């Protein structure tokens, strides 16, 4: 479960982390009232569950009433990576001289939480990790004992944090870890922590994701989930009970089992395509479930072609084939080309059932993926 920036900042502020003065607004008039109280410059920030809001036009700095109104008009109601912006956070601008990254997440390879600080804040931390990994200082935390004060100071020192603000940054890191543990977070970060000309530190952004399986013991956070809004496709996936993640490509992917879907994603990338989604229909999927999966992928405007990869174990190939036929026969015209690969339980029966006037059938996964990538390329010619 992802929290919005404004929700995470409320939690951070309650825990003692300095955050800018801000107001939540859902209309242009509310934005104008907020900036009148806060003053200029002010940041107007779309509240949606996506990264890269600034590059996509979802964050603007206003230095006047005219700029604030223009920013509110352009951001409210905009489509931001598939999400409709219904609310913005109006926030006091921060005059800063440096930006840091501070965060805590789970290092699954080590089986421990890891605290991280980098002086390269304000940019995508994944890019920093890939291009200049040494720019990120890390400290693994034993969950049995929590973060010791010396560990927070140590990671600040190794990151090269200026001594004037090192203790304040260490305090933010310690508080983030305490929230990570007490709120059952899966990830928590501030990017950037801004250092002002007066050597004060301010959390200018906030990311906090909560473990869905722990919401039963976080009732206050569970209530926030009801207040958040999701991409229409993700909402539909929740209604259908699918594991679904929307990606940025144009090859739709449906499979049964997370490992099988991930393999298909990797092969799409290997053969020069770009995956549009991760969609796992699960084991034992019946015809209706398969129909719902195709309906979801067809509803994604980014998808130009679909590959359906099923290995029959619990899921029977003949049931899958019936679902594919039922879904495609419900369309007057097939909106996207579909390539199917069936293997395992009742795969031969399924291949016989499939309506080859509606789908393309391939015997191997590699062939199916290559054909789907080719179909997507041809759709864009």
Final residue in a domain of this structure, among 196, 223, 250: 223
Residue 44 belongs to domain spanning: 21-92
232-251 per-position pLDDT tens digit: 787 788 788 888 888 989 99
Number of domains in the chain: 3
Q: Are residues 374 and 241 located together in one domain of the fold?
A: yes
Q: How far apart are CA 254 and CA 372, in angstroms?
A: 12
195-232 per-position pLDDT tens digit: 999 999 999 999 999 998 899 999 999 988 754 445 67
Q: Is 374 annotated as a binding residue?
A: no
CATH number at residue 340: 3.40.50.261
Q: Is 136 annotated as a binding residue?
A: no
* Within a domain: 13: no
Helix (H) / strand (E) element for 56: namely none
Q: How far apart are CA 343 and CA 1, in angstroms?
A: 34
Q: Is 119 annotated as a binding residue?
A: no
Q: pLDDT value at position 212? A: 87
Out of 5, 6, 83, 101, the active site residue is 101
Out of 5, 139, 189, 360, the active site residue is 189
CATH number at residue 126: 3.30.470.20
139 is catalytic: no
pLDDT-above-70 percentage for the chain = 97
Q: Is 53 annotated as a binding residue?
A: yes
Mean pLDDT estimate for the chain:
91
101 is catalytic: yes
Q: Is 58 annotated as a binding residue?
A: no
With tokens 């994604």, the residue in question is 300
With tokens 């929307």, the residue in question is 246
pTM of the predicted structure, to 2 decimals: 0.69
Q: Are residues 240 and 355 located together in one domain of the fold?
A: yes
Q: Dihedral sign, CA of 55, 58, 64, 67?
A: positive
- φ, ψ dihedrals at 364, nearest 5°: -115, 155
* Within a domain: 184: yes
């Amino acid at each position: 479960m992802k929290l919005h920036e404004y929700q995470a900042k409320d939690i951070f502020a309650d825990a003692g982390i300095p955050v800018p003065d801000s107001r939540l607004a859902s209309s242009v008039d509310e934005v104008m009232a907020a900036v009148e109280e806060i003053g200029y410059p002010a940041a107007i920030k779309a509240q949606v569950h996506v990264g890269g809001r600034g590059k996509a036009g979802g964050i603007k700095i206003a230095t006047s009433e005219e700029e604030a109104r223009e920013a509110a008009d352009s951001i409210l109601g905009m489509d931001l990576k598939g999400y409709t912006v219904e609310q913005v956070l109006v926030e006091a601008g921060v005059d800063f001289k440096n930006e840091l990254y501070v965060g805590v997440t789970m290092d699954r390879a080590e089986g421990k939480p890891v605290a991280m600080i980098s002086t390269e804040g304000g940019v995508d931390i994944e890019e920093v990790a890939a291009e200049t990994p040494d720019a990120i200082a890390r400290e693994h935390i034993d969950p049995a004992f929590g973060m010791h004060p010396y560990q927070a100071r140590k990671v600040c020192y190794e990151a090269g944090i200026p001594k004037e603000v090192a203790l304040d940054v260490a305090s933010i890191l310690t508080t983030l870890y305490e929230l990570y543990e007490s709120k059952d977070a899966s990830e928590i970060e501030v990017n950037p922590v801004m250092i002002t000309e007066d050597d004060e530190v301010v959390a200018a952004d906030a990311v906090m994701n909560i473990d869905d399986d722990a919401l039963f013991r976080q009732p206050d956070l569970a209530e926030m989930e009801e207040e958040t809004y999701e991409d229409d496709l993700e909402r539909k996936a929740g209604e259908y009970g699918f594991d679904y993640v929307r990606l940025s490509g144009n090859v739709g992917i449906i499979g049964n089992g997370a490992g099988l879907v991930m393999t298909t994603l990797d092969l799409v990338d290997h053969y020069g395509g770009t995956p549009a989604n991760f969609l796992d229909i699960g084991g034992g999927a019946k015809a209706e479930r398969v129909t719902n999966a195709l309906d979801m992928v067809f509803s994604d405007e980014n998808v130009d072609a679909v590959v359906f990869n099923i290995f029959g174990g619990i899921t029977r190939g003949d049931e899958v084939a019936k679902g594919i036929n039922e879904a495609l026969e419900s369309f007057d015209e097939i909106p996207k080309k579909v390539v199917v690969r069936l293997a395992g339980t009742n795969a031969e029966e399924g291949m016989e059932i499939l309506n080859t006037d509606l789908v393309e059938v391939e015997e191997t996964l590699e062939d199916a993926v290559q054909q789907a990538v080719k179909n997507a390329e041809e759709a864009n010619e």
